[in-house]
Structure 1
Amino acid sequence: MTSSPIYIQIHNHIKREIESGKWKIGQRIPAERKLATDYGVSRMTLRQAVQTLVDEGILERRIGSGTFVASQKVQEKMSGITSFSELTKAQGKVPSSKTVSYHVAAPSLSEMEKLNLTENQLVLRMERIRFADQTPICFEVATVPYELVKKFSKEEVTSSLYRVLEENGLAIGHAQQKVSAMQASERIAEYLQIKRGAAILRLHQVTQLTNGQPFEYVRTQYVGNRFEFYLEK
């Protein structure tokens, strides 16, 4: 079985610590330097694990104060499935993407929970920068069960996963979406050509097939002044 990267293993351990009550909602976690020493890894690896938890909304950074266990957010239902390509085309712009990483690995605890997987199953995890008329709009991390897409090429999956699934007899059902605000990390700021700390809209989406099987867990960070969500009730 493909083993998880070290940062995912640390991510899983910290998540378990939070769920066990070791760190309460609103409590500051130890500094990255101390955590890196405790886990016996470089600060870069530790920072990647923490940033993944921040991107998932489990932790939150407060400039000048540290990193804290995030509080629960008020949720608002959105109708329909948010499709970056469809939204971009509807505005008369040309969508495109750049793949940052694309690999098969063991799932993290969060991915197992969102996709109803066991630790013995593999996932395809891909990171992409999405563009509208060559302007970077968002950074996306998408995870899908590897068993579902293993017969498709990388080009098919990264260009239009939904179309490929539907062409192979798998109908797309509904999605659960959550939107919240955050500040751009140094890595995301570089990808999206913005300043570190700039306003980011964060979308978490779990999409299901019509049979109820969740097949996609996406974490997307949109540049706040380049994208907006339109909701109807």
Structure 2
Amino acid sequence: MTIPRYLQIYNQLRQEIEDGKWRVGDKLPSERDLALSFEVSRMTLRQAVQTLADDGILERKIGSGTYVADKKVQETLKGTTSFSQIVREQGKKPSTKAVSYFVTQPSTNEMEKLNLSPQDKILRMERVRYADNLPICFEVMSIPYELIKHFNKKEITQSFYETMKTKGNYRISHSKQNISATLAKERTADFLNIKKGEAMLQLIQLTYLEDGRPFELVRSYYVGDRFEFVLERY
């Protein structure tokens, strides 16, 4: 069986990238030059390049060219895992920058989701999450203050789940997640170094302790071309 020419080009370019001929961020020659090099039509060459882009190996930038893409940070939807753990497992260095951090009264939605009364307080925190210093996600977290009042700011902002487990001796059980597409608003775009209106993934997550108590409501906004969710089914 003869392999289609565009797939032959796909395989060769992919192998060259894996071998290090083309590194992350490198710009590939123009479609015209590549087509001449492979002795194919530009349509055939474009099909190979688009397939590589669809697989996340290349990134096409309008008006600029085609580049070797950085691997997206991936979260596999099979449990409740911290962002820091996800990033470390993919060989990257996680970091966090707190944008705002204050104790206040819960909103109606926060009271409903976190089983709180108007007399209760919450910690509301905004932070930017990074992988190898590249901003990946902007988060708005709401946490019942009673659960975390003995933790300091650094313990909460840097790696909240690890602090809950090791210092608080809390056992994290499961979470409910809703994922949708959205566009970056100006404030979020500024924090993530992207343009207003760029595509984003919005994740609303409610996380529970083993005893059934909801302890975290978080709205996360992920840069669309830097992060992806992977669904595993059994």
Measure, in 2, the Cα distance between the counterparts of 1:205 and 1:89.
Answer: 21
2:204 equivalent in structure 1: 204
1:134 equivalent in structure 2: 133
Alignment of 1:152-171 (within 5 A): 152-167=151-166, 168-171=168-171
Question: Where do 5+ consecutive residues of structure 2 fail to align?
Answer: 1-76
Alignment of 1:59-208 (within 5 A): 78-167=77-166, 168-208=168-208
Structure 1 residue 119, shift from structure 2 partner? 0.8
Structure 1 residue 82, shift from structure 2 partner? 4.2
* Structure-2-length-normalised TM-score: 0.65
Give the partner amino acid of 2:88. K
* Structure-1-length-normalised TM-score: 0.65
Measure, in 2, the Cα distance between the counterparts of 1:199 and 1:83.
Answer: 23
Q: Is the 8 A contact 2:97 2:157 kept in 1?
A: no
Measure, in 2, the Cα distance between the counterparts of 1:157 and 1:119.
Answer: 23
* Stretch deviating more after TM superposition (163-172 or 136-145): 163-172
What's the CA shift string for 1:40-59, capped at 9, x where partnerless? xxxxxxxxxxxxxxxxxxxx
2:227 is paired with a residue of what secondary structure?
coil
Question: Across the two proteins, how many residue pairs are aligned to each other?
Answer: 156
The structure with the largest strand share of the pair is: 2
Measure, in 2, the Cα distance between the counterparts of 1:98 and 1:169.
Answer: 25
1:215 equivalent in structure 2: 215
Give the partner amino acid of 1:193. N
Question: Where do 5+ consecutive residues of structure 1 fail to align?
Answer: 1-77
2:230 is paired with a residue of what secondary structure?
coil
Measure, in 2, the Cα distance between the counterparts of 1:210 and 1:80.
Answer: 13
Structure 1 residue 84, shift from structure 2 partner? 1.4
Q: Is the 8 A contact 2:202 2:219 kept in 1?
A: yes
1:212 is paired with a residue of what secondary structure?
coil
Q: Percent identity over the alignment? A: 53
* Stretch deviating more after TM superposition (82-91 or 102-111): 82-91
Alignment of 1:22-61 (within 5 A): none
What's the CA shift string for 1:75-133, capped at 9, x where partnerless? xxx43114211111111110101100000000011111110101110000000001111
Provide runs of 4+ in structure 1 moved above 3 Å: none
Measure, in 2, the Cα distance between the counterparts of 1:144 and 1:184.
Answer: 24
Indicate the RMSD between aligned Cα atoms, in angstroms: 1.0
Give the partner amino acid of 2:111. M
- Bigger CA radius of gyration: 2
Q: Is the 8 A contact 2:175 2:207 kept in 1?
A: yes
